Structure 1
Amino acid sequence: MCRWAAYRGEPLYLEELVSSPAHSLIEQSHCATKAKTSTNADGFGLAWYGDHPEPGRFRDVLPAWSDCNLKSLSRHVRSPLFLAHVRAATHGATRRDNCHPFVKDSWSFMHNGQVEHFADLRRRIESMLDDEHFNARTGSTDSELLFLLALQFGLAERPLEAMGEAIGFVEHLSREVKGMAQIKFTVAFSNGKSLYAVRYASEGYAPTLFAAPMGRDGGYCLVSEPLDDNKDTWAEIPPGSAVIVGEDGLDVAAFTPFWDAAKVAAE
């Protein structure tokens, strides 16, 4: 399982999540405590928002703990909204275009989890994409394909509904092809204005998600696991939840994937 951290609020240096805390994201890359595997060494990535609509991005295939550029960049880049990720590969080789976050236009996306039986579903999921979104794909992961599918379904206009529809479609397809659906899905995504997150599993274990206030103006940090041992600071987001961090702070709502099977036939 991967580890990730995201923030929205007053501008902070990326190191406040990535390298400075006692259990920073870099620390989690080789010593995760709330994942099946403690090591997340198959690359890392950052996406941050500044003066332009599209995010800046830096990704590499080195383990996060061994890359001096990551520490230097995190110390000097300051942003009001950013995503950071360390990868433990499930689907897709260890290469730069398979590292999270994935970006298209103003949107960024990162994922912890997996689509079971992805190899058997991949071609039919790809067939749902129009040329624009199919051609935007550069890697081979289930994560990037889920992101592009949500964009196809209207992420820009209705973020959580489109994400629910994307997961609902993949669950529907998995039941049709394999007789079962098993998706583990804890994600963060953003358009540079609001920060969204979802924690969900088709059945059984849903990868963890925690939230904590950060900064002085209602900012929040969302993480796969807490950045320190202060248990009073971190609230666990329950499975089947969607989170929105915006100008008014943090809001949590129920998340239920859905899919209209007739839509497949119509398209």
Structure 2
Amino acid sequence: MCRHLAYLGPPRALAEIVTDPPHSLYAQSYAPRHQVGDDQPALNADGFGVGWYPPHDRAGPVRYRRAVPIWADANFPGLSHLLRSGAVLAAVRSATPGNSLDESAAAPYALGRWLFSLNGFVQRWESLPGDTGESLSASDLLSMEARTDAALLWVMIARRLTAGTPAADALAEVVGLTAAARPGARLNLLLTDGEAIAAIRRGASLYYRRSTGEVTVASEPTTDDPDWHEVPDQSLLLTTQHTAEIAPL
């Protein structure tokens, strides 16, 4: 299972969000604290990605993705201290056997102003569209960035966003279809447009922390502060810098 986080708030160096906290996403790549069980990997070393929205840039987010462990990228520390943003989505990856291993499989995935990440696993995802009744065209399938369950889910979600479906509804609908067809699927999703974060927890772990003018949503707390709140399983979280709402799926 992967680890991911999303941040909205005052512009900060990417290092302050991704690498500097005591239990940062960087640390979770080699020492996750909430990734337990015999079927859970001890490392998230199959790649990483960071997507951010440059200040005052309305063209959309920028991504930096690699197929190496985050600690093995000699360029990222310098970049992460230089680059600043008030909206970030980042992930470290543990690949599932049989899925793509190149950097195109590393979250976040993108479309327009949207960034998306999956922390989870969908069994037999290749036949998921037919089993859910999802009608995907050849164009939809060719738009997949990688051969992974995450990329397929993103195609299903993105086509709803493009049709005007609100973010929370798009996530909930795809999770509902997927869970019905694959009851054992773990589906922790993050989606942001740089203004709000929509997240779903179905299995695994998910937390959020809000303080004045900022919010962080993450697979596990990045600090030991007591103001982290656990998102209940089978729930949807919709949050901005100033509000947070949780609803059952």
C-alpha distance in 1, partners of 2:58/2:68?
Answer: 28
2:46 pairs with 1:42: yes
Among candidates 188, 208, 215, match of residue 220 of structure 1 = 215
2:237 pairs with 1:243: yes
C-alpha distance in 2, partners of 1:89/1:99?
Answer: 9
| Counterpart in the other structure of 1:32 | 32
TM-score, structure 2 normalization: 0.89
- How far is 1:122 from its partner? 6.0
- How far is 1:130 from its partner? 3.5
C-alpha distance in 1, partners of 2:61/2:9?
Answer: 16
1:89-128 alpha-carbon deviations (Å, 9 max, x no partner): 1251311111111111111100100112224436667972
- How far is 1:228 from its partner? 2.1
Among candidates 93, 100, 105, match of residue 112 of structure 2 = 105
In structure 1, list runs of 5 or more residues that go unmatched. Answer: 175-179, 201-205, 256-267
Matching residue's letter, 1:148 = V
1:147-195 alpha-carbon deviations (Å, 9 max, x no partner): 11012234643111111221222334x3xxxxx6222111111122211
In structure 2, list runs of 5 or more residues that go unmatched. Answer: none
C-alpha distance in 2, partners of 1:11/1:253?
Answer: 29
- How far is 1:9 from its partner? 1.3
TM-score, structure 1 normalization: 0.83
Q: Percent identity between the aligned chains?
A: 29
C-alpha distance in 1, partners of 2:88/2:67?
Answer: 20
C-alpha distance in 2, partners of 1:250/1:125?
Answer: 31
C-alpha distance in 2, partners of 1:240/1:167?
Answer: 10
Deviates more, 1:221-230 or 1:147-156: 147-156
C-alpha distance in 2, partners of 1:57/1:126?
Answer: 32
Contact 1:129 1:152 survives alignment (8 Å): no
C-alpha distance in 2, partners of 1:63/1:123?
Answer: 34
Among candidates 195, 208, 212, match of residue 205 of structure 2 = 208
Among candidates 185, 189, 192, match of residue 187 of structure 2 = 185
Secondary structure of the corresponding residue to residue 232 of structure 2: coil
Cα RMSD over matched residues?
2.1
1:53-90 alpha-carbon deviations (Å, 9 max, x no partner): 42100000110111122222211111111101000012
Structure possessing the higher radius of gyration over alpha carbons = 1
